[in-house]
Structure 1
């Protein structure tokens, strides 16, 4: 592995241990076995490196959200059952000690303090919205139209952000997948009444 990769891996470990605000460039250098100049050379700044490390951590979570089996045992795309399965998988990751989602809450609150990082993360969030649509509704991410990303993808992202907040603030009262699914069922029922 070269310095670029070493820095990224060190930054990921620092983020999970210390969070965004408390991680220093020296922490990353110590954790990665590199030098301070490498951060600027490869990433431009410590904050840009931390943003890339955060995105890499989020991308690594995709296995936890894996699409239900396509062998007939998984729920149909777009169904309430698929909704429950996917959100159950997401919530399971929030229960884990040292959850990445606590870091997500910290970064969301810091957004206005890090304008150059915010733009980078906003694009990653948009792609995450696209991924949620494909995961819940079926199909390939690259086939999800922009207007669907803007509507349905945004809906799922808002749900995810709310879950992160609730699970970070008070996990004992945060909803589980069954409660979310029942809430969605009630919304659908109310919207389809004649």
Structure 2
């Protein structure tokens, strides 16, 4: 690995251990075995490096323990079905203990976003990518083949559910919504809506 990759890996470890606000450039250098000048050369600033490290952590979340967030291996539920909806959310919830640190970082960054416009811009771009990244788990359409309207509607819907669900699980896992309750809620909402 080169300095760029070493910095990214060191920054990821620092984020998970200390969070965004408490991680210093010296922490990253110590963790990565690089030097302070490398941060500016490769990433422009410590905050930009930490934002990239956070994005890399989020991207790897769906592949935690090799399981992914999609339907369980061998699942045969049809794409777009309520059964698939429930399977995907069950997988997301099941991954929560392994991904809790990353979700805590997410909410730290949301609260700090107004104070760090450079980081906020990177995270807004990542959020747009996240909308298209979540869709294939539900509809089996490869991300590269998704049209803008689907990403802007269905992707936003799933992303909104994901963010709300994670707030509940971070705050109190014992009272948080289960995949079964989320699916039943959707069933009750769409039932009357489709009768008109």
Shorter-chain TM-score tier:
over 0.9
Indicate yes or no: 2:120 matched with 1:111.
Answer: no
CA contact (8 A) 2:70 2:91 kept: no
Partner of 1:37: 37
Q: Distance in 2 between matches of 1:69 and 1:57?
A: 22
SS at match of 2:27: helix
Q: Where in structure 2 are the equivalents of 1:1-194 lying within 5 Å?
A: 1-63=1-63, 64-68=67-71, 73-96=75-98, 98-194=100-196
CA contact (8 A) 1:7 1:39 kept: yes
Cα 1:129–1:77 shift into 2, 3 Å: same
Cα 1:96–1:163 shift into 2, 3 Å: same
TM-score with structure 1 setting the length:
0.93
Q: Name segments (4+ residues, structure 1) moved above 4 Å.
A: none
Q: Distance in 2 between matches of 1:29 and 1:6?
A: 9
Q: Distance in 2 between matches of 1:37 and 1:111?
A: 25
Cα 1:3–1:58 shift into 2, 3 Å: same
Q: CA RMSD in A?
A: 1.6
SS at match of 2:10: helix
Q: Aligned pair count?
A: 193
Q: Distance in 2 between matches of 1:35 and 1:173?
A: 45
CA contact (8 A) 1:105 1:168 kept: no
| Alpha-carbon shift at residue 66 of structure 1 (Å) | 4.2
Give ranges in structure 1 of 5+ residues lacking alignment: none
Q: Distance in 2 between matches of 1:110 and 1:154?
A: 22
